[in-house]
């Protein structure tokens, strides 16, 4: 089978387009309609699930894990009130309660602390779960389709960092986005001013730490999306910073992020 990687229209959806030379008698069944695929060409999603080419325009994919939503593969799924789709496999680990938010926050803070990010005060952080429509209202005039997290500072006697994260996200994805936003907080508190591409590339390293530590298929797909031009407009800066991190360590990046020259 010849495999090419393409970007589908959903936020993190990576489809692997496969051109099969196998005979239809191999009994490969479609993951959507469950019929045998008799065509010589067919698609395969990021999880290796094959489906007829004509399903590409009508098939529904989970926005969290990129799986085809079908009874066979995911035991169905749901359409959320803001138009997003989530499969039942992801739904079981969705972060919803205050206790779940608190547990994830503590875990992410510990991971960041282990990586030289230690000046984040729990009392200064307020985490809000909102849908995409509310995220759009918070983000105002900017494109919001690909936005899953946003941080604002509330001016007061004691600075409060208001972190907005899309609701109905699985635990690992929620924590990866939270780590990204917490690095924004860290940069603000350290008074480090960066260009937007470098800042976003750096904060994506927070997501990388979470996904890399998890090291599941789910996380590996999201790591691929961080390096994909269509899903990450700051992919060049991210790749350069990640390369420096891989060779010199994350601590080196955090100590020198204000002066690192990215060409």
Q: What count of other Cβ atoms lies within 10 Å of the Cβ of residue 74?
A: 23
Tell me whether residue 187 is in a domain: yes
Same domain? 11 vs 124: no
Tell me whether residue 15 is in a domain: yes
Tell me whether residue 205 is in a domain: yes
The widest CA-to-CA distance across the chain, in whole angstroms, is 71
Q: In the predicted model, is pLDDT for residue 113 greater than 60?
A: yes
pTM summary value: 0.85
- Count: domains in the chain: 2
Same domain? 102 vs 86: no
Per-residue tokens: 145? 């389709």
d(C-alpha 226, C-alpha 208), whole Å:
8
Same domain? 241 vs 158: yes
Q: In the predicted model, is pLDDT for residue 142 greater than 60?
A: no
d(C-alpha 111, C-alpha 183), whole Å:
12
Q: Are 199 and 187 a contacting pair, CB within 8 Å? A: yes
Domain final residue, candidates 90, 122, 148: 90
d(C-alpha 108, C-alpha 172), whole Å:
10
Mean pLDDT taken over the chain: 84
Q: What is the mean pLDDT of residues 43-62?
A: 85
Q: What is the extent of the structural domain holding 159?
A: 98-256
Same domain? 143 vs 184: yes
Domain final residue, candidates 71, 90, 109: 90
Same domain? 12 vs 108: no
Same domain? 156 vs 83: no
The region of weakest confidence among 63-72, 119-128, 134-143 is 134-143
Q: How much of the chain is in helix, strand and coil states, percent to nearest 5? A: 40, 20, 40
Q: In the predicted model, is pLDDT for residue 26 greater than 80?
A: no
Q: In the predicted model, is pLDDT for residue 29 greater than 80?
A: yes
Domain final residue, candidates 66, 90, 114: 90
Same domain? 64 vs 125: no
Q: What count of other Cβ atoms lies within 10 Å of the Cβ of residue 184?
A: 21
Residues 6+ positions from 69 with CB-CB distance below 8 Å: 59, 60, 61, 62, 76, 77, 85, 87
pLDDT digits (tens, 9 = 90+) for 170-208: 999 999 999 999 999 999 999 999 999 999 999 999 999
* Torsion sign, CA atoms 194, 198, 202, 207: positive
Please report the pLDDT score of residue 39 as a whole number. Answer: 86
pLDDT digits (tens, 9 = 90+) for 217-251: 999 999 998 988 656 677 899 999 999 999 999 99
Q: In the predicted model, is pLDDT for residue 9 greater than 50?
A: no
d(C-alpha 258, C-alpha 252), whole Å:
11
């Amino acid at each position: 089978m010849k495999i090419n990687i393409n970007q589908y229209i959903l936020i993190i959806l990576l489809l692997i387009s496969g051109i099969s030379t196998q005979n239809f008698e191999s009994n490969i069944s479609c993951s959507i309609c469950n019929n045998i695929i008799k065509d010589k060409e067919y698609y395969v999603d990021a999880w290796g699930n094959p489906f007829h080419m004509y399903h590409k325009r009508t098939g529904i994919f989970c926005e969290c894990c990129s799986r085809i939503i079908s009874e066979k593969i995911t035991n169905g799924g749901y359409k959320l009130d803001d138009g997003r789709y989530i499969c039942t496999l992801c739904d079981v680990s969705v972060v919803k309660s205050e206790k779940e938010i608190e547990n994830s926050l503590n875990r992410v803070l510990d991971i960041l602390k282990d990586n030289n990010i230690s000046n984040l005060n729990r009392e200064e952080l307020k985490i809000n779960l909102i849908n995409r429509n509310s995220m759009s209202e918070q983000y105002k005039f900017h494109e919001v389709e690909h936005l899953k997290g946003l941080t604002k500072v509330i001016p007061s006697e004691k600075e409060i960092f208001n972190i907005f994260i899309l609701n109905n996200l699985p635990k690992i994805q929620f924590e990866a986005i939270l780590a990204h936003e917490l690095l924004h907080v860290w940069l603000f508190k350290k008074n480090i001013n960066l260009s937007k591409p470098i800042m976003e590339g750096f904060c994506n390293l927070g997501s990388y730490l979470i996904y890399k530590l998890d090291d599941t298929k789910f996380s590996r797909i999201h790591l691929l999306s961080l390096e994909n031009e269509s899903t990450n407009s700051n992919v060049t800066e991210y790749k350069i910073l990640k390369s420096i991190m891989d060779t010199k360590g994350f601590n080196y990046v955090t100590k020198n992020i204000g002066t690192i020259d990215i060409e």
